[in-house]
């Protein structure tokens, strides 16, 4: 079988993958197998971060501003 690596973990067996194995996969030098379950490992492409929604305008708290009156 084949399993992606997420958070340095084989998603097939949920065992931690050595950082050296991940480094080889990042350099596209060789095929790597999970030492625990024997699945072929791959790094899924990183998705671009989702744009954050526009923040709502902040409402002012506290006392309202003083209004000057004509004397």
Q: Is residue 30 part of a domain?
A: yes
Report the domain count for the chain.
1
Q: Is residue 34 part of a domain?
A: yes
Residue pair 40/21 in contact by the 8 Å Cβ criterion: no
Q: Is residue 53 part of a domain?
A: no
Q: Is residue 49 part of a domain?
A: no
Q: What stretch of H or E contains 42?
A: strand 40-42
Cα–Cα separations (whole angstroms), residue 14 to 4, 59, 68: 11, 46, 68
pLDDT at 29: 85
| pTM for this predicted structure | 0.63
Domain range for 21: 2-42
Residue pair 42/58 in contact by the 8 Å Cβ criterion: no
CA distance 43 to 22: 8
CA distance 40 to 27: 16
Mean pLDDT by 10 residues, the chain (71 residues): 95 96 92 96 80 72 76 63
Q: Is residue 36 part of a domain?
A: yes
């Amino acid at each position: 079988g084949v399993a992606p690596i997420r958070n340095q973990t084989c998603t097939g067996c949920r065992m931690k993958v050595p950082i050296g194995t991940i480094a080889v996969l990042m350099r596209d030098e060789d095929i790597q197998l999970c030492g625990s379950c024997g699945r072929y490992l791959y790094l899924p492409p990183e998705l671009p971060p989702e744009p954050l929604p526009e923040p709502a305008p902040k409402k002012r708290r506290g006392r309202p501003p003083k209004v000057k009156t004509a004397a």
